[in-house]
Chains A and B, each alone.
Chain A
């Protein structure tokens, strides 16, 4: 089984977002970059599949120089090699999928895993787009996965339930929380990761098709009322919910 896992380096979920005056993206001078949490589920799943079926795991990431750290993080968890497509453009959408698909194609993987979304642009686009560009089946937002030599079964979350899907390989799967519990990289893993092969490529000149014209903070919520008198506040809060907020 040859598995490609696409990963992205993103600001960690604790990040305090700071938007520079007139800026179109966050000020990242104090940002701690991490491997996208959903991609960790994808890497972990690839490792479990490898433990069962053997084969190799290649990590592919497109991004600026610092993105190499995210690839090393995945190698430290146990993946075998990395491909870093160097790209300094802030991209989202179809051009990302095209760049990744182009890098994945010659690798001829049996399985392509990604996180269901990156927690910076929150787009949920790249996985199914890659599947389409490479003409492969896909299942997205997967919280349970069973892979055999030539196919698999995946459960994906939908409103009020789950769809169980059967698919043939090669296929693209995007990972949802709940898929597994990602392992921590061991010290030995971290040391070994430094020596694992990593190919660097320059991103091809695919223009981005999305233009950001403004970035802003969400509107502030109105100041609330806090009652310190515990259970005695209940009738008053229920009255306010009915009469002031008209929420019930």
Chain B
């Protein structure tokens, strides 16, 4: 049988993305429970020197597929590299993140291996050596527990749900893979990467989000939200009404047809709390709502609600945060 519990290390611009420590932590815990060896696979170009950092997470070995042909993400080349690794090491478990790359890549890998995939899970447990995973369905209005009989138990983790934890440090060997992508036919490739607002953390990765709704009345009034976000160290999100009005880009939309977010703190300003908005943010750890309508549905899920005019309350919040956070 297999000796390994494997996880995917996501590299962008030559750097390890934080979700990789989440997949490492889950793979390590599964390995411990089932007497396997955790092992990572990283695909990219010009990065392999940093990879021994996974020793801190109790990972003894990482396989590095380091080749100029992987400098940009390509579903076809990356699938080939990961499948090559899986065929060589034959892991019992394979853990990826449900990040943008993971969501694109994992179904291709699963189909190539003829194995099922359980996507976007929020809880995991082992029953008779098989994974039983919990995943939200209907935009979080329900959750299902699912399992598969596939020989490789393959799951993707919802980002920011499984927190990375270090472990008794081991030394981590970085093994260079000899996989060569030049044999792979690549018919879809990156031409250009457009960066969003400079340096802004993505909503799915933010710890604090300040979202604005139609109550802000105009795109220019988002200035006061930017100031509030700056005061609490957060990023600005939006409701769909705001995005459809063209006040904010679609990348900022939270909700069923936008992003699903799980920050530590979500501040909803002038958002009514339609069911499709709640779908995207109701798993936030702490929710604050500001709305002038005491019956706005957002108050039903808020930990702290303030009824009143946002144009008075937002500047006051900013001032107060600036006082207490430094």
Contacts and interface: CB of A to CB of B under 8 A. Distances in A.
Interface of A: 11, 13-15, 17, 19, 24, 26, 37-38, 93-94, 97, 119-129, 131-133, 136-141, 143, 153, 155-168, 171, 176-178, 209-218, 221-222, 224-231, 233-235, 237-242, 245, 247-248
A138 B74 CA distance: 10
**Looking at chain B, what size class is its interface with the partner chain?**
35 or more
Interface in B282-321: 282-283, 285-288, 294, 299, 301-309, 312-313, 316-317, 320-321
Nearest 9 Cβ contacts at the A-B interface: A230-B308, A132-B111, A137-B187, A159-B202, A137-B188, A167-B188, A226-B305, A158-B100, A178-B250
B142 A19 contact: yes
Interface of B: 73, 75-76, 79, 98-101, 103-108, 110-112, 114-120, 132, 135-150, 186-196, 200-202, 204-205, 208, 232, 250-251, 253, 256-258, 264-265, 275-276, 279, 282-283, 285-288, 294, 299, 301-309, 312-313, 316-317, 320-321, 324-325
A238 B323 CA distance: 10
B111 to A, nearest CB: 4
A160 B120 contact: no
Contacts of B149: 209, 211
Contacts of B103: 124, 140-141
Nearest to A215: B144
Contacts of A15: 138, 141
B307 to A, nearest CB: 5
A35 to B, nearest CB: 14
A183 to B, nearest CB: 16
Q: What is the predominant secondary structure among interface residues of chain B facing chain A?
A: mixed
A122 B146 CA distance: 14
A79 B157 CA distance: 37
Nearest to B195: A161
A141 B104 contact: yes
A247 B264 contact: yes
| Best-surrounded residue of B103, B195, B305 (most CB of chain A within 10 A) | B103
24 contacts: A13-B257, A13-B279, A24-B144, A120-B137, A129-B107, A129-B110, A137-B76, A137-B186, A159-B99, A160-B202, A162-B194, A163-B193, A165-B190, A177-B250, A214-B145, A215-B137, A216-B143, A216-B145, A218-B283, A227-B306, A234-B317, A234-B320, A237-B304, A240-B304
Given A129-B107, A159-B202, A122 B145 contact: no
A163 B301 contact: no
B108 to A, nearest CB: 5
Contacts of A213: 132, 145-147
A94 B117 contact: yes
